[in-house]
Amino acid sequence: MKGNAPDRRRKQFTRDNKKQEGCRRFLSTLLCFSEVSSLLCFHSGENQDRLTEDPGTYCCDWSVSSSCSRNVALKQLHGCVWCPCRNISLKPGGSRPKTLPQRYLGQPSPFTHPHLIKHGEVTPGLTQTEFELRRLRLASLIEAQADRLGPSASSSTHVVVLLSHPTRYMTNDIPYPFHQNQDFLYLSGILEPDSALVLYGTGRPDQAILFVPRRDPSRELWDGPRHCAVVRQLSAGPPSAPSAHVGPLLDEGPMPHSLRPLVHSLRAVKSSAEVALMQEAGHISAQFDFENRIHGANFLAYPPVVAGGNRANTLHYINNNQIIKDGEMVLLDGGCEYFGYVSDITRTWPVNGKFSPAQAELYEAVLEVQRSCLSMCSPGVSLDHIYSSMLALLGRQLRRLGVVKASSSEADVLKAARRYCPHHIGHYLGMDVHDTPELSRSQPLQPGMAITIEPEDDVVIRDKGGALILSSDAPKTIADVEKACAQR
């Protein structure tokens, strides 16, 4: 016998509450897991209903409707309530909004920083369209990888969860300067801490939802505004034991895979907008530390190496507390970060402004080797190949200078070259100093890749016209170095 209508409604309400609680648990788990920088793709063994979401939306709050299922990221999350900031997101060429958003954003926007960001840009120089294309390219890579896995993929439904970095405190309520997870920033353009980006879809995960913490006006009084106004906040219990929720979810069948190699393969090839940002970072670094701030660089890319005399032979010397003596050479290895993209440049000069004959001879030998390596920077050549060539070139210079005996075997010469150059010829460069570490240095270079060539210039690989030297503003020839010293 079928129950009467009130009984059916009561049972349905109970079931819906259980489903809703499952989604609440998942979302609270997402937020408390923001302490871990993880990037996972879940392949579900079940069919998934399409989520209701506006592609390209960057900022939203969340609420969960009664149609939500307990199986996280595999069922519906209907009822997502978008913040008003969505209404001012523009694509290039679009008309300007006539009104300001309801409140200022926590990161630079065309309204708060018109001198930095144009309408249509999410971060300086990077448009909403570029971030959308990045997510679509990642979705295509995931789809292709799932096809290669075949039956082991278990389903064509994929969910990607990427967490931002959390806020960390040096003492009590004083936070460290915030630095975003580069993969999260690359795919979203969002500088908010304690957030989560979810990509999902059947076949290819080409839809996106961004979860951000609720507004806290009392905290904003101290720390400044968050990214956008929150429309409605999901009420969740204290996230005391996230593993108690995540463990059973993983046991239900989703197959986690790290997406870091896929994201790094995308990050390795720079767009023209990214190259422009890196070029600006190179310009700023030519003047270095205090002028980083004057020109708008956010902060130094890493603790600089400023070493005089023999201390320059310590690769990561950062004490920088010794007296530099007349007649010594000074090595400076430094860089800045400019809206998410970094520079990494090394220059050496005489303390007194003039090279001695011995210093000039050694400097020219190193410069000749470096120029030869720069000429090799072209598509199809790997960093490992340039490194091997550099060792041979350096060995010849050591033999010519008498550092190694003329009668030494080639093996001994190469051994000496490695001793004087124990590091590699360079590394990938971009959103991080040692960018995309998942990529092997044996991989052939492609147009758009950015690398460094020691002692250190920043280089972008191009199809035609040779490599683009981003750090060309920094004096490097003996004549230019002595001229720059004379102007100080």
- The pLDDT tens digits for 418-432 are 999 988 999 999 999
If asked whether residues 230 and 293 sit together in one domain, one would say no
Angle at 227 between CA 297 and CA 37, to 5 degrees: 75
If asked whether residues 258 and 284 sit together in one domain, one would say no
If asked whether residues 230 and 156 sit together in one domain, one would say yes
If asked whether residues 293 and 437 sit together in one domain, one would say yes
C-alpha distance across the termini of the chain, in Å: 95
Domain-ending residue, one of 268, 291, 312: 268
pLDDT at 363 over 60: yes
If asked whether residues 315 and 225 sit together in one domain, one would say no
Q: Is residue 26 assigned to a domain?
A: no
Boundaries of domain holding 475: 270-487
Q: Is residue 344 assigned to a domain?
A: yes
Angle at 249 between CA 246 and CA 254, to 5 degrees: 120
If asked whether residues 314 and 263 sit together in one domain, one would say no
Q: Is residue 32 assigned to a domain?
A: no
Kindly state the average pLDDT of the residues 99-107.
52
Q: Is residue 43 assigned to a domain?
A: no
pLDDT at 445 over 70: yes
CB 194 within 8 A of CB 34: yes
If asked whether residues 382 and 483 sit together in one domain, one would say yes
User: In 119-188, at which residue ranges do the beta strands (DSSP E only) sit?
Assistant: 121-123, 126-127, 157-163, 169-171, 174-175
Q: Is residue 7 assigned to a domain?
A: no
Give the domain CATH number at 465.
3.90.230.10
Query: 10 Å Cβ neighbour count for 176?
Result: 10
Instruction: Return the percentage of the chain with pLDDT > 90, whole number.
Output: 41
If asked whether residues 222 and 276 sit together in one domain, one would say no
Say what the pTM is.
0.64
- The pLDDT tens digits for 31-81 are 333 333 333 333 333 333 332 233 232 222 222 222 233 333 333 333 333
Number of domains making up the chain: 2
If asked whether residues 297 and 414 sit together in one domain, one would say yes
Strand ranges across the sheet with 196-202: 207-211, 196-202, 157-163, 39-44, 255-258
* Residue 227 CA to its chain's centroid (Å): 19
Instruction: Return the H-helix or E-strand segment holding 184.
Output: helix 182-188
DSSP state, residue 183: H
Q: Is residue 244 assigned to a domain?
A: no
Cα atoms in the 13 Å half-sphere on the side-chain side of 61: 17
Total count of residues recorded for the chain: 488
If asked whether residues 225 and 275 sit together in one domain, one would say no
Q: What pLDDT does residue 235 have?
A: 32
Instruction: Return the percentage of the chain with pLDDT > 70, whole number.
Output: 64
pLDDT category at 480 given cuts 50, 70, 90 is very high
Cα atoms in the 13 Å half-sphere on the side-chain side of 462: 13
Collapsing DSSP states into helix, strand and coil, what is residue 110?
A: coil
Residue type, 216: D
Give the domain CATH number at 163.
3.40.350
If asked whether residues 192 and 288 sit together in one domain, one would say no
If asked whether residues 361 and 450 sit together in one domain, one would say yes
| Mean of per-residue pLDDT scores for the chain | 74
pLDDT category at 247 given cuts 50, 70, 90 is low
Q: Is residue 92 assigned to a domain?
A: no
